[in-house]
Structure 1
Amino acid sequence: MRQVHEWFLRRGLPLVLTRRVRSRALVERSAPTVSGTGAAIAATMMLAELTNDDPGWGIVIRLAVLTLLLIAAPFALYALHRADTTRSAAGRRSAALLVMALFVFGLPFAASGFTGIAAAEALVFAVVAVVAIWLTYIGFGSIALWAFRFASVQFGALGTLMSRALPLLMITVVVYFTGELWQLAARATRQRLWETIGFLALVALLFMVTTIRDEVRALREDRAEQNDPAKLLADTPLATPAGHQPVRTPLSLAEQVNVVAVMVVSQAIQVIFFTAGLFAFFLALGIVAIPHDVAVLWSSEQTCAIGQPPCPGTWFGVDVPVPQTVVHVSLFVAVLSGLYFTVSTSVDPLYRERFFDPLIADVAVSLAGRDAYLERETADP
């Protein structure tokens, strides 16, 4: 069954596993996350102490030792896990508890000494440790790792994605050369621009969740008539005999959230890649095709000084060799295009054939495996 559990985790569906499985060795599995977080915090506190005018070398030494211990902890836990013996299991449990103790009590008392402040900080670190354990229980790491793997695959397909969007690109180019849009972008602050982008992103997210939820519901209703579980689960740890139909049970709320989240993340990665590519394209177009005097005219003379080109742009506080208005217009048009693309991926047959239908087929395999897995768990509790 370990291969079955790992199969679901690799597919980003940890909430399909039973609570008993997800609760197994929970402290041991969450210890690497806690140790990594603790090592980052300890290193930051040590550097902050070193940059003081009068650093406390005792505090620096204690924090340095804690940083090294917390960095080494995941490797020790992995070695104990590889041994897979009764003694190593007990050692792994003891090591995990030691990591938790170092994180909750070691960090605050090493930095602040045995004071009331350290006790209050220990309570905060305890809450952080509990949150890390809860994230491990719901399988946040599995979903995140799946997202990163899928992102690497989608990055290679970005060229194909952009080429399929040429009709949309022609429409947005026309919108890009609109003087009213440039006036709006020139007068909008970066904060208001991000608020607008956040609103559009929320609309796109709600659309994706609604559409994908309907797709999952239709998949559960039609899968028995359209697909054979034996073919879907061939060459997997959950392979079933030909002609056998595992009992289909309704998805729990947690399972529905997990399946929808996996599909939303996959589609969101496509939209982010698409939007980032369009943003780079429009930046280059603004630099090449729009002279400074035209940009000043369209933006109603939003310049740094009379007779000078438009103000230089910034990106997260870093100056870039592009006028600020060009940055704003390019970002706004790219996000609008991303919202349009989000709708197109669900209704356009070409987009569905290239990107959405394979995702649906992959989820069909996962749901077939889920039914077979629950049938095995019921037969052998």
Structure 2
Amino acid sequence: MTRGAVPEPGLVQATDAWFLTHGLAYFVPEERAAAHAALRGRRTLPLGVLIGVLAAATGAGLAWVTGQPSVAPALMISAAMVAVLLYALTALRAAPIVRWALGRTFGSLRTLLPMMSRALPLLLLFVTFLFINAEVWQVAADLPTGTLWLTALLFVLLATGFLLVRLPEEVDKVDDEVDADFLRRTTAGTPVGAAAQELLSRDEDHPALVAYAEVRGFERWNLVLVLVVIQAVQVLLLSVGVFVFFLAFGGLVMDVDVQSSWTGEDDIRALPLLSQLTEPLLQVSVFLASFSALYLTVSTVTDETYRVQFFGSVMREMERAVGVRAVYLAVRDRGADVVA
């Protein structure tokens, strides 16, 4: 491809398709423009007001029926989270991003067991001391359903906020050391592989290609969202494992008399045929599993060993995205097909 030539249409289209199948929807100009338009106030404000009114009315009605005022804010927060998710998957064109991240996570479940073997022992050692603590049982078992729901949401929101603050720092490291070898390695086997080799064969093109590698705006948040989804699903799976562990452990060692003395409740309801799986045990397990999710989220980002185990391999995918994008932008720009 000579300088100033119009790029082969099939190359741009093939790269656009590659971006979509690899969870990089915002790397495609048309998808990015549609997402940007969907964030305009005249579209999001009326929808937000409608959802807020409906959630508030439903929450108030449910709180009145159950006699638990905490149900109202818990339902409103849950409705807002569901609404944001659905709007992101549809109007914001995030479905390919989430789909690829989920496929990437569940496709590597075989690596989850080694991660659990590193992450869970210390966590279980820590939270088991909480589990056999009478004060924790008194607090968790005495929580109304709405308050327990709200508490779990609080842990989830704190974990999500932590990821949104820290993971952009990981993404910013991806394009810090881009050179010719980086571009050759990351574009190999992709639709722009041949174009990258041709551009890199000319020494004067190297600085321009490196400049294209800087990721900003929607594309940067595309990479952040991939990491958030992968991290969240892995933490969720580990938290479910913690929940199941405490249900099994409590069902074995915590008989109803012990549970009654720790919670101060004389009449404890148990599941049919499972006399030791009681409502207090369920509430304590939910409380500790939610707390464990926050603990795991912080640990997997701040602890170097956990970081390598949890998303070390994903960073290679991030590097490939940066490399392909750099060549893709160069190809489009040099063909006078400027990216918006």
Q: TM-score, normalised by structure 2?
A: 0.70
Q: 1:251 aligns with which of 210, 215, 223?
A: 215
Is the partner of 2:277 in helix, strand or coil?
strand
Matched residue, 1:218: 173
The 5-angstrom pairing of residues 167-182 of structure 1 reads 167-182=122-137
- One-letter identity of the residue aligned with 2:229: V
Kindly indicate whether the alpha-carbon contact (under 8 Å) linking 2:102 and 2:233 is maintained by their aligned counterparts in 1: no
Alignment partner of 1:144 is 2:98: yes
- Give me the whole-angstrom Cα distance separating, in 2, the residues matched to 1:253 and 1:188: 43
Q: Which residue of the other structure, out of 324, 338, 362, is the alignment partner of 2:279?
A: 324
Aligned to 1:231: 185
Any idea what SS the aligned residue of 1:248 has?
Answer: helix
- In 2 relative to 1, CA 321–9 (structure 1 residues): closer, same or farther, beyond 3 Å? farther
Distance 1:148 1:224, change over 3 A: closer
Residues 229 and 137 (structure 1), Cα distance of their counterparts in 2 relative to 1, 3 Å cut = farther
**Do residues 190 (structure 1) and 176 (structure 2) align?**
no
In the alignment, is the contact (CA less than 8 A) between 2:123 and 2:292 conserved in 1?
Answer: yes
Cα distance in 2 between the residues matched to 1:348 and 1:371: 31
| Deviation (angstroms), 1:232 | 1.2
- In 1, the alpha carbon distance for the partners of 2:87 and 2:144 equals 40
SS in 2 for 1:157: helix
The count of aligned residue pairs is 262
The equivalent of 1:312 in structure 2 is 270
Query: Which runs of 5 or more structure 2 residues have no equivalent in the other structure?
Result: 1-11, 35-85
**Amino acid aligned to 1:213:** P
Cα distance in 1 for partners of 2:271, 2:152 equals 18
| Structure 1 residue 253, shift from structure 2 partner | 2.1
- Contact 1:233/1:365 (8 A) holds in 2: yes
What CA RMSD, in Å, does the superposition of the two structures yield over aligned residues? 2.7
* 8 Å Cα contact 2:255/2:276 also seen in 1: no
Alignment counterpart, residue 17 of structure 1, candidates 28, 46, 51? 28
Give unpaired runs (5+ residues) of structure 1. 24-131, 304-309
| Percent sequence identity over aligned pairs | 29
**Match of residue 159 from structure 1:** 113
What's the offset of the Cα at 1:256? 2.1
What letter corresponds to residue 364 of structure 1 in structure 2?
E
C-alpha distance in 1 between matches for 2:158 and 2:135: 24
Identify the residue that residue 343 of structure 1 maps to in structure 2.
298
1:138 is displaced (CA, Å) by 4.0
TM-score (norm 1): 0.63
In structure 2, how many angstroms separate the alpha carbons of the residues matched to 1:226 and 1:192? 55
* Distance in 1 separating the partners of 2:316 and 2:305: 16
Q: What per-residue deviation string (whole Å, max 9, x for no partner) do you get for residues 338-366 of structure 1?
A: 21111111122222222222112211110
Please tell me the residue identity of whatever aligns with 1:286: G
2:245 is aligned with 1:281? yes
Q: Larger radius of gyration, structure 1 or 2?
A: 1
Q: Give the Cα separation in 1 of the matches to 2:235 and 2:223.
A: 19
Q: How does 1:46-85 map to 2 (within 5 A)?
A: none
Q: Relative contact order: is structure 1 or structure 2 higher (C-alpha 8 Å, sep ≥ 6)?
A: 2
- Pick the aligned partner of 1:291 from 238, 255, 261: 255
Q: Secondary structure at 1:199's aligned position in 2? A: helix
Question: Residue 373 of structure 1 aligns to which amino acid in structure 2?
Answer: Y
Separation (CA, whole Å) in 2 of partners of 1:199 and 1:191: 12
Match of 1:3 among 14, 18, 27: 14
1:101-140 to 2 correspondence within 5 Å?
138-140=92-94
